[in-house]
């Protein structure tokens, strides 16, 4: 039992704003992949508002924090318990707990998406649909650790490539707050950030 609880407590804690921003970024990437007709459209969109830099900042922040081996899992019961702890932590301590596996998947999918932005214009990789589905899946997995369902819905209303003009869509900063990528504010795993 002690070993089980030890595994749970070693999971990563992030500020609520960072988690919301991460979900919005993953949704934005998935929607953009779906709506873009060429990589040049994606590249142009991600150069606007320094979105490409934002994705690199997320990766630079997350990469050192994920476990290269995802074999050290806590099982189904542990995942349910971790979700409960995360919902409790969200309400009381204003943080969210994510398991290694979820952080690992987020890093890998963001890396794959950034690789597309480095590709030759007008050439989409063959795994475009699979990547879009994986980005959606990771966003939904992270969202399952967020008890505020209205906030999760708002992350799905993020601006993207070729968005419909009649929709009310938001930039990531409008959804997550202007300080969501302030790294000292994001990382709560070592007691950093605001109290």
pLDDT tens digit string along 155-183?
Answer: 999 999 988 888 889 999 999 998 888 86
pLDDT in tens, 89-102: 888 888 888 887 88
pLDDT of 189 > 60? The answer is no
Per residue, what are the HEC states of the chain?
Answer: CHHHHHHHHCCEEEEHHHHHHHHHHHHHHHHHHHHCCCHHHHHHHHHHHHHHHHHHHHHHHHHHHCCCCCCCCCHHHHHHHHHHHHHHHHHHCCEEEECHHHHHHHHHHHHHHHHHHCCCCCCCCCCHHHHHHHHHHHHHHHHCCCCCHHHHHHHCCECCCCCCCCCCCECHHHHHCCCCCCHHHHECCCCCCCC
178 within a domain of the structure (yes/no): yes
pLDDT in tens, 8-33: 445 667 888 999 999 999 999 999 99
9 within a domain of the structure (yes/no): no
- When pLDDT is cut at 50, 70 and 90, the band that residue 195 belongs to is very low
pLDDT more than 90, % of the chain? 36
51 within a domain of the structure (yes/no): yes
pTM of the model: 0.83
The rounded distance, in Å, linking the Cα atoms of 69 and 48 is 35
192 within a domain of the structure (yes/no): no
Answer whether 109's CB lies under 8 Å from 134's CB: yes
CB neighbour burial string for 69-101, b if at least 16 within 10 angstroms, e if fewer: eeeeebeeebbeebbebbbebbeeeebbbbbbb
Q: What does the pLDDT read at residue 97? A: 80
Q: What does the pLDDT read at residue 5? A: 43
pLDDT in tens, 56-66: 999 988 887 66
193 within a domain of the structure (yes/no): no
The rounded distance, in Å, linking the Cα atoms of 10 and 160 is 35
25 within a domain of the structure (yes/no): yes
Domain that holds residue 131: 18-63+101-186
Q: Any idea which of 34-38, 50-54, 80-84, 168-172 has the lowest mean pLDDT?
A: 80-84
Total of domains in the chain = 1
36 within a domain of the structure (yes/no): yes
Cα–Cα–Cα angle for 162, 40, 158, nearest 5°?
Answer: 35
12 within a domain of the structure (yes/no): no
pLDDT of 154 > 90? The answer is yes
């Amino acid at each position: 039992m002690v070993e089980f609880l030890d595994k749970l407590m070693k999971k990563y804690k992030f500020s609520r704003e960072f988690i919301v921003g991460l979900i919005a970024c993953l949704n934005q990437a998935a929607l953009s992949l779906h709506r873009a007709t060429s990589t040049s459209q994606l590249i142009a969109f991600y150069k606007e508002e320094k979105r490409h830099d934002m994705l690199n900042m997320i990766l630079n922040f997350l990469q050192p924090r994920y476990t290269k081996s995802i074999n050290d899992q806590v099982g189904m019961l542990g995942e349910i318990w971790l979700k409960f702890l995360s919902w409790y932590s969200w309400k009381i301590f204003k943080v969210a707990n994510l398991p290694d596996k979820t952080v690992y998947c987020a890093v890998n999918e963001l890396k794959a998406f950034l690789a597309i932005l480095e590709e030759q214009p007008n050439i989409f990789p063959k795994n475009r649909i699979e990547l879009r589905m994986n980005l959606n899946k990771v966003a939904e997995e992270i969202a399952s650790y967020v008890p505020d369902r209205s906030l999760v819905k708002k992350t799905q209303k993020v601006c993207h490539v070729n968005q419909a003009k009649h929709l009310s869509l938001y930039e990531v900063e409008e959804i997550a707050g202007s300080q969501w990528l302030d790294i000292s504010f994001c990382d709560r795993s070592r007691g950093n950030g605001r109290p």
